[in-house]
Chains A and B, each alone.
Chain A
Amino acid sequence: MFGLKKHDSRLFIVVAVLALAAPFLLNPFPDGSAMAQFNAGYPDLMQRFVIFGIFAIGFNLLFGLTGYLSFGHAAFLGLGSYGAVWMFKLLSMNIIPAIVLSVIVAGVFALIIGYISLRRSGIYFSILTLAFAQMMFAIAYSDLIGRFVGTPITNGETGLQLALDDPRVLGISATPDGSIPLTNLFGLEMRSVFNLEVGGWLFTFSFGYYVCAVVMLLSFYVAIRIFRSPFGLMLRAVKSNQQRMNYTGLNTRPYTLAVFVISGMYAGLAGGLMASMDPLAGAERMQWTASGEVVLMTILGGAGTLIGPVLGAGFIKYFENIFAKINDNVLHSWFAFMPDGLEDLMVTIVHPFVGKGWHLTLGIMFMLVVIFLPGGLVEGGQRIGRLFRRRDDKATSVESDAAEQRKPAAE
């Protein structure tokens, strides 16, 4: 299908179904029930799932395929956001030109930064990208370019926001009732939602989410094609032994630069979408901790796998929102079946890891994954799968083991 191999198209269809049915799947608990707070089926969070999914897919193209660990990827996301918001300010509230510009801006900067950073590899590459990203963060945070030009470009600490007196050449500066127009796709507003009530469940379908989901599926498809292409194979060769590639007379730089730019464009796309859903852009999106977050997502999900980064992004964003909501009252209600003393003890033990302490859980989980599961959640899933499969065909595997043992003796 679409030039994909059989198991790739199966994966793609699964992801597509999951993404399109997300408003149902992420709302398993009826409204008003005690478990309703674990529902993730509201537009804001679902949009974040897919947007960070795109970001992580792009990062994984670079890190997963070539092994170049960039610690400054959030810079491109931030650039994309700024580009999109400027388009909303100057041209129109249609998201298409905004997203196109954000991808282009991120691509151009990725080309410059990549051209310089890719001259070095390993830790030096990480530090160079980190330095560039921090530099751009500093520039955006104090609006250095704006101070040179005379008008705010990034609007410093406050962040770039829409205003009523923006020109918006192809659109309108303000709606008749005097407010800022909303982002839309040829008239369909991103914010518009359709609520469906079935029994105790309330499902919210947001147009913005579906736009993001479709873009995510497109970028996922492109990522699969890159993974399976000769170009992707070349990148994997760079990861396994760049020196040997160079010795065979092949210049690897164009390949790594190309994937760096592609990956930067993915980040720009994510930034553009983020601004399309909520038209503002701030410097904090570019800070190196934001770059660290996408590293966490990719590694947690499984670097170098197709589905891993999306899983990781969803996982982190879900727990970031849901874990943070668990407070002591919730904990008490969980452990209510225990005797009083034990209940308090359990709450005290669990307390540091939830609510505001969620980053502690994330850090520990991340360390455990890096130590024991270098392939991330995907590898974990595969191992569990293998465990079950082995149990099924134990008898046959014993035989084949015995056959293998016999073989060397026979030779």
Chain B
Amino acid sequence: MDAIILQFLNGLDKGSAYALIALGLTLIFGTLGVVNFAHGALFMIGAFCSVTVQRILTLSTETLSETQKDFLGNPLKIKTPYVESWFGPEVGAAIIDWSVPLAILLAIPVMLIVGFVMERGLIKHFYKRPHADQILVTFGLAIVLQEVIKYFYGANPIPTPAPAAFVGSFDFGPLLGLDTSLAYPYWRLVYFAFSAVIIGAVFAFLQFTTFGMVVRAGMADRETVGLLGIDIDRRFTIMFGIAAAVAGLAGVMYAPINSPNYHMGMDFLVLSFVVVVVGGMGSLPGAVLAGFMLGILESLASMNEVKNILPGIDQIIIYVVAIVILLTRPRGLMGRKGVMEE
């Protein structure tokens, strides 16, 4: 029982990453009708925002120590990060420690700009072209972005630790009235809460603001909204930026869970496409639901009890579920009628 709960919790944070990426993907698809294969790359760029902030904050001056000597007898070089010399050692160390959450501040403008540039510079020209072309050009873009990151940051994963306050695990055991302990890392809880907030914010933005209302109207019938004298293209561009930011934020906070490397985007991309299709192309609640569902299923399938009966099921369960759902419910779990139907 406790193993099931633990796997369920494990599934939640993987599911939240899937849900966030899939949410952005389906947002882009629902508004612009573009299949964005570069969305995984946006997730990866977000994760590298964390790395960048960490690197910027740890930029250091080197001073020669007066007391300590290295083994050759030369004065030891001591690195002092600039932030520590500016704000004093304690505050400075705290700032460096919190570099991942601070990276959110950098990631939001960066991702919005990346999104705008991508939409205006490239994707805009592909609205009238077939879906296959859109897939191909964004696939090419994903390769380019990935290689650019690889050029600047190298091919190895770069560890980006979470703040010290979140290191360690929370014990769910006593909370649920179980005797056994159910240790669960704090940062994963933070990640889940964070993604819940983002998902909530996106839905609230679409549901309760005038801007969101116009966007929803545009998703339903783009032409009519345009005829009413509303510049729907500009709003859709902004939505592309927001979708990019959502993927980026998912990446920023995911950095402590998995050290960012240049191909993490591609790894997530395939799965998040499966998530979108299972949830139903163009359906936002579907994407979130399918994201969590598949994440949790994947976790549950990796339990030893399940693996003993069906070895390796954890690696193929998502695809099996996707194939079954696509064949039984062709529009996905919550797909709308008339979206992507030839």
User: Are A and B associated in one complex?
Assistant: yes
Tell me whether A95 is interfacial, beta carbon within 8 Å.
Answer: no
Which listed residue (A63, A124, A144, A148) contacts B316, Cβ 8 A? A144
Q: Which residues from chain A contact B266 at a C-beta distance below 8 Å? A: 289
Which listed residue (B136, B274, B320, B323) contacts A295, Cβ 8 A? B136
Interface size (A, Cβ < 8 Å)? 44
- Among A102-110, A130-138, A178-186, the stretch that binds chain B is A130-138
- Contact between A127 and B273 (Cβ–Cβ < 8 Å)? yes
Docked CA distance A324–B147 (Å): 14
Tell me whether A120 is interfacial, beta carbon within 8 Å.
Answer: yes
Question: A144-B311, A295-B136, A359-B143 in contact; A122/B342 too (CB < 8 A)?
Answer: yes
- Contact between B326 and A128 (Cβ–Cβ < 8 Å)? yes
Mark contacts of B120-139 with chain A using CB atoms, 8 A cut-off: 1 yes-contact digit, 0 otherwise. Answer: 00100100011111011101
Tell me whether B76 is interfacial, beta carbon within 8 Å.
Answer: no
Residue of A nearest to B341 (CB): A122
Residue of A nearest to B151 (CB): A352
Docked CA distance A121–B130 (Å): 13
- Contact between A363 and B147 (Cβ–Cβ < 8 Å)? yes
Docked CA distance A242–B130 (Å): 14
Residue of A nearest to B155 (CB): A356
Residue of B nearest to A361 (CB): B147
Nearest CB of chain A from residue B265's CB, rounded to whole Å: 12
Q: Which residues from chain A contact B135 at a C-beta distance below 8 Å? A: 69, 123, 126
Docked CA distance A299–B110 (Å): 32
Tell me whether A159 is interfacial, beta carbon within 8 Å.
Answer: no
Question: A134-B319, A374-B133 in contact; A367/B326 too (CB < 8 A)?
Answer: no
Docked CA distance A293–B131 (Å): 19
Which residues in chain A, 357-407, are within 8 Å of chain B measured between CB atoms? 357, 359-360, 362-364, 366-367, 370-371, 374
Q: Which residues from chain B contact A359 at a C-beta distance below 8 Å? A: 143, 146-147
Question: A123-B35, A357-B151, A370-B137 in contact; A148/B311 too (CB < 8 A)?
Answer: yes
- Contact between B312 and A371 (Cβ–Cβ < 8 Å)? no
Which listed residue (B132, B144, B148, B273) contacts A367, Cβ 8 A? B144
Which listed residue (B148, B277, B311) contacts A127, Cβ 8 A? B277
Interface size class, chain B: 35 or more
Docked CA distance A370–B125 (Å): 11
Q: Which residues from chain A contact B5 at a C-beta distance below 8 Å? A: none
- Contact between B136 and A123 (Cβ–Cβ < 8 Å)? no
Docked CA distance A67–B326 (Å): 20
Which listed residue (A67, A124, A242) contacts B340, Cβ 8 A? A124
- Contact between B274 and A362 (Cβ–Cβ < 8 Å)? no
Nearest CB of chain A from residue B338's CB, rounded to whole Å: 13
Docked CA distance A243–B270 (Å): 29
- Contact between A130 and B273 (Cβ–Cβ < 8 Å)? yes
Tell me whether A227 is interfacial, beta carbon within 8 Å.
Answer: no
Tell me whether A88 is interfacial, beta carbon within 8 Å.
Answer: no
Nearest CB of chain A from residue B261's CB, rounded to whole Å: 14
Tell me whether A292 is interfacial, beta carbon within 8 Å.
Answer: yes
Q: Which residues from chain B contact A366 at a C-beta distance below 8 Å? A: 136, 139-140, 143
Nearest CB of chain A from residue B126's CB, rounded to whole Å: 8
Mark contacts of A56-81 with chain B using CB atoms, 8 A cut-off: 1 yes-contact digit, 0 otherwise. Answer: 00000001000101000000000000
Residue of B nearest to A243 (CB): B342
Residues of A within 8 A of B (CB): 63, 67, 69, 116, 119-124, 126-128, 130-132, 134-135, 138-139, 141-142, 144, 147-148, 242-243, 288-289, 292, 295, 299, 352, 357, 359-360, 362-364, 366-367, 370-371, 374
Beyond A67-B132, A138-B312: 5 further Cβ-contacts under 8 Å? A124-B330, A128-B322, A367-B144, A370-B137, A371-B125
A sample of 22 inter-chain contacts (CB < 8 A) reads: A63-B132, A67-B130, A116-B323, A119-B330, A120-B330, A123-B35, A124-B281, A124-B340, A127-B322, A130-B270, A130-B273, A131-B322, A132-B323, A135-B320, A144-B311, A144-B315, A288-B270, A363-B144, A363-B147, A364-B140, A367-B141, A374-B129
